Amino acid sequence: MQKITKFSLVVLFVMVSGLTLAQNNTNSPYTRFGYGEITDNGSGKSKAMGGTSIGIRSNTCINTANPASYTSIDSLTFMFEFGGIGQMSRFTNSQGSIHTYNANIEYITMQFPIKKWLAGSAGLLPYSFVGYNFSSQDSIPTSTNNGIEQVKYTLRSLGTGSLNQAYIGLSAKIGKHFAIGLNTSYIFGSIQNTDSLTFVKSDITSGSAPTTRNATLSVRDINFRYGLQYFTNLSKNTKLTVGLIFENKSSLNGDYSLGISGVDTISSKNKASFEKPLTIGGGLSFDFKDKLTIGGDFLYQNWADAKFFGVKDSLSNRTKFSIGGEYLPNINSKKYINKMTYRFGAFLKNDYLNINKSTSDYGLTFGLGLPSKGTKSLFNLGFEYGKIGSVSNNLIKEDYYKISFNVTFNETWFFKRRFE
């Protein structure tokens, strides 16, 4: 009965908290393009390690980046994890800078054993975020009876929305050194982009209404991610894990609606051709004496060959390199500071946006794993500093600071009691 009650509370929390995943998790003008900011799924642990996750096997976190990792859990443990994020960004161009802030729940996942050689996972994950609100002022020359007059106008752009993934994953152990896995995800959500053009009042524009363009993309489709991990002992105190992931190129079924209002109102709803790219990734990690873990990842997404509004080459190929590690001094120590896990990492991403030239995103990360007294549950804190773009080439430089937090409840549920 106690196990059923706990499971019911978990399901209720997922249903209620999952509604918040649709909220904006960014304030970046770079999300104006494509599907917005693409997220790389990972636990709070991996975020503090520069995003390193493909070659990680852990029984203290849920690694959704590689579904082959689910069999790292023992046959008696149920894990439930949720994470949130807060971000401050500073945007700079040749005219000045501004600051923005936002915070939100980011993901909700659970992991559980099915057999000794089989494990499963399920949850809600983000796929991409859109969130921006900026304006610009300019003027255009207009011919009048008195000659040429400069008419001033304001162009405001606003974007909101997100694409999310509800997934179910399975992982199977094959022999002593291999595990395979599959995540089946339902991608859903919508993205809204609004542009409004308003002329400053003058003799020419007196009484003219703003012209507004509203565009909405709604997506719903199935996606598959395949994972493989090889793990072995290199020596008595050293373990090696090598991981691979793969997603095939696939369509994104959805609708695109456009509405223009001003002097006249025009609206339309059409099918458009959208695709997800071929994705491949690899990673490895070394574990020394169950105290120090060092690893690295490489991810490649062929966005240049994926259709966006039925056209290829409007996006660029995306790559990501990450390295990271964690150190646990002594889990059996009487001093709490020695039971804490210390994490560090770095990453470099070449984004999929095709704006003048591809934009790069690079940053540094570090974090802490804080154990709960008397349980195997863990509270993780992560800190990240990153930079996107530059002031040159008429771009905007974004410096951002993220604080991520997540809680992993690690409970022993699957055992038979001798006495009730």
Domain assignment of residue 150, yes or no: yes
Strands (E) located in 116-177: 118-129, 132-144, 147-174
Pinpoint the alpha helices (H) of 49-177: none
How crowded is residue 66: how many other Cβ atoms within 10 Å of its Cβ? 32
- Residue 157, domain extent: 2-412
Q: Sort strands 378-388 and 147-174 into parallel, antiparallel or unpaired.
A: unpaired
Tell me what pLDDT residue 356 has.
60
Coil, helix or strand at residue 19: helix
Domain assignment of residue 148, yes or no: yes
Domain assignment of residue 419, yes or no: no
19 φ/ψ angles, rounded to the nearest 5 degrees: -65, -25
What is the rounded CA–CA span in Å between residue 390 and residue 392?
Answer: 5
Domain assignment of residue 420, yes or no: no
20 φ/ψ angles, rounded to the nearest 5 degrees: -80, -15
Tell me what pLDDT residue 228 has.
98
Domain assignment of residue 45, yes or no: yes
Model pTM score: 0.86
Q: How many CA atoms lie within 13 A of 220 on its CB side?
A: 3
CATH number at residue 201: 2.40.160.60
Q: Which of these, 237, 214, 160, lies nearest to 191 by C-alpha position?
A: 160
Tell me what pLDDT residue 202 has.
57
Tell me what pLDDT residue 42 has.
80
Burial class (CB in 10 A: 0-12, 13-18, 19+), 381: middle
Domain assignment of residue 418, yes or no: no
90 φ/ψ angles, rounded to the nearest 5 degrees: -120, 120
Domain assignment of residue 417, yes or no: no
Q: How many domains does the chain have?
A: 1
Tokens coding 369: 């794993």
Residues 61/377, Cβ–Cβ less than 8 Å: no
Per-residue model confidence as pLDDT tens for the chain (420 residues):
444 444 444 444 444 444 445 455 567 778 888 898 898 888 888 999 999 999 999 988 999 999 999 999 887 888 999 899 899 988 887 777 888 888 888 899 999 999 999 999 999 999 998 988 877 777 777 766 666 777 777 888 888 899 999 999 999 999 999 999 999 999 999 999 888 888 776 555 555 667 888 888 898 899 999 999 999 999 999 999 999 999 999 988 888 888 887 655 666 677 777 899 999 999 999 999 989 999 999 999 999 999 888 888 778 899 999 999 999 999 888 899 999 999 999 999 988 887 765 567 899 999 999 998 877 889 999 999 999 877 776 678 889 999 999 999 887 765 554 444
Tokens coding 150: 């400069």
